[in-house]
Amino acid sequence: MNPIVIRLGGYQKPASIHTRACQRFGEALKAKLGERVDFQFVPNVIELGHKSGELPKMVERGELTLCYISSLRFAQWVPALKIFDLPFLFRDRAAAYRTLDGALGQRLQAQLISDSPFRCLAYWDNGFRHFSNKVRPIRTPADCKGLRIRTQMSELQGETLKRLGMEPVAEDIKIFIEQIGGERFDGQDNPLTNIVNFDMHRHHRYITLSGHVFGVACLMCNQAQFNGWPADVQQAVIAAANEATACQRQLAAAEDEEMLKKLNPSDNEVVTLTPEEHQAFVEAVKPVTEKVRRELGEKWFGLLNF
């Protein structure tokens, strides 16, 4: 009998926590299923000429079995996923994990099964997003005024940045990295692991630890393929995803300190906001959260577990 081919695609470099978690997934899967599975890992589709945003379509078409990517990429099927794009939703990782692993996360997974071609196997820690730019230090919302900033393909995150006075430009990470040294962008927002591993810090002197969004990445599987596997294979895939998720989150928690150590003070000015400065950003973007709360209602917001 031919082995079951399970092909997982990503978009980051070897050192990234996502790449290492994918490798753990493959190791766990092979340990459970042995020769019954042919696990194939495509670490970085960007190097193959793809945009990262193509990953969901590649999974939907069956070119890949699984991928990881930001939850916002699936909001077209389940609009409530936009909750994770809201600013200052979580104060720390513990609060985020309680929500992801609790009633809200479970309900979103069920909605994806019913309304999309995907099955969400796990929520990964995509890090707290921070600002970096080449123009000036950012300490107050006023410092944001007029900065052209690359952002994710999220209207909601763009609305948040406009509230701060920025000029958001939604663009895939592939294009942004290609153009980072040019005049199109003044800055961007990303977790520290991406700021360093994608070499953004070499172009942007100023980094502000704003933590304005906690990023959620989904480990997504082609639902039709999953449903076609024997029950014990399904369970092995779920167990491998759980093992990889525990690894991924552990790595993510340690990553920020490791990345800060790699920043040279002579090349990068890292701004840590005071509680008062942080609160000024929170107040500036509150209308965005209030708007989405009215739109989605308490049936979703009531499931947030802080």
Average pLDDT over residues 17-34: 97
DSSP 202: G
CA distance 306 to 96: 7
CA distance 195 to 188: 9
244 contacts 175 by C-beta, under 8 angstroms: no
CATH class of the domain whose range is 4-301: alpha beta
160-191 per-position pLDDT tens digit: 999 999 999 999 999 999 999 999 999 999 99
285 contacts 164 by C-beta, under 8 angstroms: yes
Average pLDDT over residues 111-121: 98
CA angle 261, 267, 272 (to 5 degrees): 60
pLDDT at 285: 97
Alpha helices in 180-274 (DSSP H): 192-197, 223-228, 231-262
Q: Is the pLDDT of residue 306 over 70?
A: no
